[in-house]
Amino acid sequence: MLKHGAPHLKRRDFITLLGGAAAWPLLARAQQQLPVIGILSSRSRATDALLLSVIRQGLNDTGFVEGRNVSIEYRWAEGKYERLAALAADLVGRKVAVIVTIGGDVAARAAKAATSTLPVVFTVATDPVRSGLVSSLHRPGGNLTGSSGFQVELEAKRLGLVRELRPDATTIGILVNPNVTYIETQLNDIRSSAASIGREIAIVKAGTIAEIDAAFAILRQMRADALSVAIDPFFFDHAPQIVVLAARHAVPALYFRREFAAIGGLMSYGSNAEESYRVLGVYTGRILKGEKPGDLPIQLPTKFELVINLSTARALGLDVPATLLARADEVIE
């Protein structure tokens, strides 16, 4: 009987094994069918690391976890804006479910140019209606939505803060990137603001690492009394270089993101970045669940932060006015 039963058990085990083997391709296909998010950035992986965690948290809040029920493809332009068009086209060719753009208007515009059908969720520094990305803040329409920090529109506010910090300044340097799509709007706003506060400005342009070094040498020749660094994702990618140069040339500088002040920059004023980036994750999750991007209103900042680094002020021999300190959201000792 043992001899009779043994083949029966082996045959049953073989059938079970065969059934399991047949299921393997099905499991593999199920894993491959996870919705794919494409993240397109004008900056680098290292710079975006912290903000990517905020995006993932927004996704988690809507029930999506990377590697479990959603996959993410990353594309970084490393500050070379001319690469964005090809990177966006690559994500479209891979038929991702949603494209998320970070690193300013340049990335959002590249995605918009690459597809009119795939959902695109962006975070930008400008007014997206004014820049032509969407037709309305409340109902964007089309395939784009996201958040705006309205950072470019804050250039006038930043110049006013520079004047408060250095009321004796006669010439204020402005560092801009000529490669951004909104450069003319940015420059017009800056010139208008400088005229309203009665200050001369010295505009210097930089779109590469070498040009940033050269810009500070030019500012020194122009004897600029202070500096305002205009909003640009490339400058954020190279924040340490800019902060070190400002210290080396003893130029009091105002920046557009808190991160500059955190690493030694004198002062920053801008919207809260984490607030905008969380929207990217939440909106992407909602779109994956079936909502249309054109029906999701553009989210605007609810908080603007003034950060002052007192240690840097002391190193520069500056007395920060008490009125500025009283308004600061954060003072770094």
- Calculate mean pLDDT across residues 46-71: 96
CA 163 to chain centroid: 28
pLDDT number for residue 23 = 43
Residue 317 has pLDDT above 70, yes or no: yes
- Calculate mean pLDDT across residues 131-137: 93
Instruction: Quickly state the pLDDT bin for 284 (edges 50, 70, 90).
Output: very high
Task: Kindly compute the dihedral angle of the four CA atoms of residues 146, 150, 152, 155, in this order, to the nearest 10 degrees.
Answer: -170
Dist. CA 236–CA 278, nearest whole Å: 19
- Calculate mean pLDDT across residues 100-121: 97
Residue pointed to by tokens 């590697």: 67
Dist. CA 127–CA 107, nearest whole Å: 15
Cα of first residue to Cα of last residue in the chain, in angstroms, is: 87
Q: Give per-residue pLDDT as tens, 229-281.
A: 999 999 999 999 999 999 999 999 999 999 999 999 999 999 888 999 999 99
Dist. CA 75–CA 43, nearest whole Å: 9
pLDDT number for residue 37 = 98
The pair of three-digit structure tokens given for residue 296, joined into one six-digit string: 């999701």
DSSP class of 178 = T
pLDDT number for residue 48 = 95
Dist. CA 292–CA 177, nearest whole Å: 34
- Which pTM value belongs to this model? 0.84
Q: Give per-residue pLDDT as tens, 59-80.
A: 999 999 999 999 999 999 999 9
Averaged confidence pLDDT in the chain: 89
The region of weakest confidence among 25-29, 56-60, 287-291, 314-318 is 25-29
Helices (H) and strands (E) in the chain, counts: 13, 12
pLDDT number for residue 5 = 45
Residue 28 has pLDDT above 50, yes or no: no
Dist. CA 62–CA 98, nearest whole Å: 15
The pair of three-digit structure tokens given for residue 316, joined into one six-digit string: 């520069």
The pair of three-digit structure tokens given for residue 279, joined into one six-digit string: 């929207």
Residue 1 has pLDDT above 80, yes or no: no
Q: Give per-residue pLDDT as tens, 193-220.
A: 888 888 889 999 999 999 999 999 999 9
Instruction: Quickly state the pLDDT bin for 32 (edges 50, 70, 90).
Output: low
Dist. CA 245–CA 74, nearest whole Å: 31
Instruction: Give the number of other CB atoms < 10 A from CB of residue 65.
Output: 10
Dist. CA 196–CA 45, nearest whole Å: 40
pLDDT number for residue 62 = 97
Greater confidence (216 vs 26) lies with 216
Instruction: Give the number of other CB atoms < 10 A from CB of residue 46.
Output: 10
Element (H, E) at 196: helix 183-197
Percentage, residues of the chain above pLDDT 70: 90
Residue 17 has pLDDT above 80, yes or no: no
Reading across the β-sheet that carries 144-148, which strands appear in turn?
71-76, 36-41, 98-102, 120-124, 144-148
- The residues with which 39 forms a beta bridge, in sequence order, are 74, 100
Percentage, residues of the chain above pLDDT 90: 75
